[in-house]
């Protein structure tokens, strides 16, 4: 019998929200059996609980935002992927702000915090959602297709094409959830340079500083633009490295693996 799990003790991780720029403290706390994953906005008067459930997601623009009981929390995907990747069933996630900290742009800091706290088995059998037949979903306007197939294992296969000469068409698979720690967790958020400019103009990424995202340049850009970008993010110098990547961060993997694994990262807690 595979038992439910929770964290052994509370552990806190602190940082700024990517879009709000607000400094936030997030604490994973032990929870009883059958509790599930729940956020708690401890900065609000009634400290509302927010169930981690796709039915509670109210916004997916530039992040995943669930809302319930008068509270909401944004940019949740990296923290939640770390919980699923470490196979945590029950936890209370206390946050004292409107957005989960972006940290280095990956799920790795959250996974490290969970492992530091420790994982304990609980006196209850793990509950699984079991598919009895294929489930399909399509959005023809966005050329999106999803297929969930009954399986005894937790597997994800992804193919994506951003119509980018830098990224190209990519394929990736995760055959076992145990692969998450080494293969998926370190993958950072990425965006295209033209998206970065748009986000700044729309008063977003207030917490972005080029240290928590990979920036892909797939269009011609002048040195003047690069100098403006360096000034905007307080960098002494910004340049385009080979294969159209800014020199803002050191890659953990080849860029095609970063891009595709980021999609797996975002999909993990939804599936």
pLDDT digits (tens, 9 = 90+) for 117-157: 999 999 999 988 888 999 998 988 878 888 888 888 888 88
Are residues 195 and 116 both part of a single domain?
no
Are residues 119 and 206 both part of a single domain?
no
Are residues 119 and 201 both part of a single domain?
no
- CB under 8 A, 24+ apart: contacts of 125-132: 125/1, 125/2, 125/3, 125/4, 126/2, 126/3, 126/4, 126/5, 126/89, 127/4, 127/34, 127/89
- Is residue 171 helix, strand or coil? strand
What is the CATH classification number for the domain harbouring 85? 3.30.230.20
b/e string for 19-57 if b means 16 or more Cβ within 10 A? bbbeebebbbbbbebebebbbbbeeeeeebebebeeeee
CB 246 within 8 A of CB 178: no
Query: Which structural domain, as residue segments, surrounds residue 49?
Result: 3-128
Kindly state whether residue 151 falls inside one of the protein's structural domains.
no
Among the residue ranges 16-25, 114-123, 136-145, 163-172, the one predicted with the least confidence is 163-172
Per-residue pLDDT of 236-246, as tens digits, reads 666 666 556 66
Q: Is the pLDDT of residue 232 over 80?
A: no
Q: How many helices (H) and strands (E) does the chain have?
A: 5, 18
Mean pLDDT of 48-68: 91
Dihedral sign for Cα atoms in the order 182, 184, 188, 191: positive
Kindly state whether residue 205 falls inside one of the protein's structural domains.
yes
Neighbours of 149 (CB within 10 A): 11
- Total number of domains in the chain: 2
Are residues 9 and 105 both part of a single domain?
yes
Are residues 121 and 228 both part of a single domain?
no
Model pTM?
A: 0.80
Q: What are phi and psi of 189, to 5 degrees?
A: -55, 140
Are residues 43 and 119 both part of a single domain?
yes
Kindly state whether residue 209 falls inside one of the protein's structural domains.
yes
């Amino acid at each position: 019998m595979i038992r439910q799990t929770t964290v052994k003790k509370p552990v806190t991780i602190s940082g700024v929200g990517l879009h709000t720029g607000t400094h936030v403290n997030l604490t994973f706390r032990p929870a009883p059996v059958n509790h599930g994953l729940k956020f708690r906005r401890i900065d609000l008067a009634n400290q509302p609980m927010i169930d981690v459930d796709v039915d509670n997601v109210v916004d997916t623009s530039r992040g995943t935002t669930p809302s319930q009981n008068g509270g909401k929390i944004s940019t949740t995907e990296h923290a939640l992927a770390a919980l699923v990747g470490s196979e945590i069933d029950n936890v209370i996630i206390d946050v004292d702000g409107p957005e989960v900290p972006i940290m280095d742009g990956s799920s790795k800091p959250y996974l490290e915090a969970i492992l530091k706290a420790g994982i304990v088995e609980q006196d209850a059998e793990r509950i699984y959602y079991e598919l009895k037949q294929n489930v399909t979903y399509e959005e023809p306007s966005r050329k999106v297709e999803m297929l969930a197939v009954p399986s005894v294992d937790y597997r994800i296969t992804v193919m994506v094409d951003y119509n980018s000469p830098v990224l190209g068409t990519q394929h990736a698979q995760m055959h076992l959830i145990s692969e998450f720690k080494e293969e998926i967790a370190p993958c950072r958020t990425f965006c295209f340079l033209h998206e970065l400019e748009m986000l700044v103009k729309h008063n977003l990424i207030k917490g972005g500083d080029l240290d928590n995202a990979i920036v892909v340049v797939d269009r011609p850009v002048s040195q003047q633009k690069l100098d403006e970008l360096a000034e905007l993010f307080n960098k002494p110098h910004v340049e385009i490295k080979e294969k159209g990547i800014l020199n803002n961060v050191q890659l953990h993997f080849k860029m095609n693996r970063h891009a595709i694994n980021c999609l797996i990262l975002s999909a993990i807690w939804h599936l």
